Structure 1
Amino acid sequence: MKKGNKKRPCFDIDPSFFWDFDLDAMDLDKAYKSIIARIVERGNQNDIDRIVEFYTYEKVFKAIRDEIHFLPNYAIDKAIEFFPELKKEEMHCYINRKDKPYHWI
């Protein structure tokens, strides 16, 4: 074993969140933004805690604040509940479309 090599926690999230993905074929590191967005939209605090354990608090927080391009209004509100230090006005997904209406198809 290499020095400093820690075993990564397992991906312990309900697969029903990802009904449209092949989790076995998915690169969890490359797809982190999609995974985090899906959990913020559809998960609860326990699901967020598991994602934080898997990816780290810093990575999840940064993805929600700076990297996820779209979250619906209810998910932005949930993200702020999950991470009270988040400010809506600093979230890329809010800034990116706060004045733009969007339509569900």
Structure 2
Amino acid sequence: MRIFDRGKPMYFDNYKQFPDAQLDMKLLWEYDLDKIELNSLRNVVVQRVIERGWPQDWYFILNYYGVAGIKESIKKIGYLNDKDMYFVSHQFGIPLSEMKCYEKKQSANLHWNS
């Protein structure tokens, strides 16, 4: 299965070959690891993997949350730098206009524009 329908495979298109991939819990350093519930922190986990994750972290979230769950989270993330924002938009086929982080950047009152 291709992550999106543009004919090109995603970098992690073979994620189902890594069902035992584990999330590096250092990405969630400020949370109590004994009490952590990955389902309730989905948006945080996805954002951390986008910003700082290694391939095994990508394989983990793709297997754990599924492509649809990750797309839903990406749309809700409040901030991503431009590089990460354009990467996930391209890889998951999400229009920038559907991403909260893009909308926030467009509506930000920049110093030189005020």
Same fold (TM over 0.5): yes
Q: So what's the TM-score if we normalise by structure 1?
A: 0.70
Aligned-pair distance for 1:39? Answer: 0.7
Aligned-pair distance for 1:32? Answer: 0.8
Q: Distance in 1 between matches of 2:55 and 2:96?
A: 19
Aligned residues: 92
**Bigger helix share:** 2
Greater Cα offset, 54-63 or 15-24: 15-24
Q: Distance in 2 between matches of 1:24 and 1:62?
A: 26
Name segments (4+ residues, structure 1) moved above 4 Å.
none
Out of 1, 13, 26, which is 2:23 matched to?
13
Q: Distance in 2 between matches of 1:49 and 1:21?
A: 21
Q: Which amino acid aligns with 1:71?
A: L
What pairs with 1:25-104 in structure 2 (closer than 5 Å)? 25-65=35-75, 67-83=76-92, 85-100=93-108, 101=110
Structure 2, unmatched stretches of 5+, are 1-18
Q: Distance in 2 between matches of 1:44 and 1:53?
A: 15
CA deviation string 1:24-49 (max 9, x = no partner): 21121111111111111112444223
Q: Distance in 2 between matches of 1:23 and 1:36?
A: 17
Query: Aligned pair in 2 of structure 1 residues 33, 10: CA closer, same or farther (>3 Å)?
Result: farther
Structure 1, unmatched stretches of 5+, are 1-8
Q: So what's the TM-score if we normalise by structure 2?
A: 0.65
